[in-house]
């Protein structure tokens, strides 16, 4: 009698001769970013006046129903033990969600702080570079001839030429020759 062929192994089967892939036997997976966004929305709602108003209305209705309803229709037979249990349950879920939202906010604040710090460092580096460039320009301008300096030099040159010309005129007069014409 022929044996039936062995079923082919699928790639997703666990093999003992190979290491497990990360996260393979962990159970259901979830997106922490999506879960964080949802928890932030819930925490934002819990911290709003809308939530306080709805919670006050619900508790008031519960109290009124438990006080004024007939005994066989009261949901909380003992003095509000079930209401206390419900409020404790709500608080036990609200606190971690609020903490998770605060952690996400502190993570965002940390990232914003690091980005601001990097931006500040770039601005400071740019300011230092510009300060060095301005100092270099000032030094270079110190070596450039200014308008007053050029006027002074031209005045001195004109005086020298005038003196040289007058001296040559005086020499020519003393020699008895003819005066040069200008």
**Element at 145 (helix H, strand E):** none
- pLDDT range class, residue 123, cuts 50, 70, 90: very high
- pLDDT range class, residue 27, cuts 50, 70, 90: low
Residue 130 is predicted with a pLDDT of 95
Q: What secondary structure does DSSP assign to 38-88, as a single string?
A: HHHHHHHHHTSHHHHHHHHHHHHHHHHHHHHS-GGG-S--SSSHHHHHHHH
Provide the token pair at 52: 């306080």
State the total domains in the chain. Answer: 1
In a domain, 90, yes or no: yes
Residue 101 is predicted with a pLDDT of 86
In a domain, 55, yes or no: yes
d(Cα 156, Cα 163) in Å, to the nearest integer? 10
In a domain, 93, yes or no: yes
Average pLDDT over residues 105-115: 92
d(Cα 50, Cα 42) in Å, to the nearest integer? 12
In a domain, 103, yes or no: yes
The predicted-structure confidence for 2-22, as pLDDT tens digits, reads as follows 666 655 655 566 677 777 666
In a domain, 110, yes or no: yes
In a domain, 161, yes or no: no
Provide the token pair at 119: 């931006």
The length of the chain, given as a count of residues: 182
In a domain, 63, yes or no: yes
In a domain, 37, yes or no: yes
Average pLDDT over residues 107-127: 94
Quote the mean pLDDT of the chain: 83
Q: Which domain holds residue 84?
A: 32-119
The predicted-structure confidence for 52-97, as pLDDT tens digits, reads as follows 999 999 999 988 888 888 888 887 777 788 888 989 999 998 888 8
Contact 65, 122 (CB under 8 A): no
CA end-to-end span of the chain, whole Å? 138
The secondary structure of residue 117, as a DSSP letter, is H
pTM check: above 0.85: no
Contact 100, 39 (CB under 8 A): yes
């Amino acid at each position: 009698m022929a044996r039936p062929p062995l079923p082919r192994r699928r790639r997703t089967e666990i093999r003992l001769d190979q290491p497990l892939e990360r996260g393979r036997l962990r159970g259901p997976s979830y997106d922490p970013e999506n879960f964080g966004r949802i928890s932030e929305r819930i925490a934002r709602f819990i911290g709003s006046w809308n939530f306080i108003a709805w919670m006050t209305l619900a508790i008031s209705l519960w109290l009124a129903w438990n006080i004024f309803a007939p005994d066989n229709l009261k949901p909380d037979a003992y003095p509000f033990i079930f209401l206390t249990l419900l409020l404790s349950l709500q608080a036990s879920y609200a606190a971690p969600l609020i903490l998770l939202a605060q952690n996400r906010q502190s993570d965002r604040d940390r990232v914003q702080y690091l980005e601001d710090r990097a931006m500040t460092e770039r601005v400071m580096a740019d300011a230092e570079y510009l300060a060095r460039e301005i100092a270099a320009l000032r030094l270079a301008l110190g070596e450039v001839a200014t308008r007053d300096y050029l006027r002074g030099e031209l005045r001195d040159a004109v005086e020298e030429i005038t003196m040289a010309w007058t001296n040559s005129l005086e020499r020519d007069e003393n020699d008895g020759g003819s005066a040069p014409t200008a």
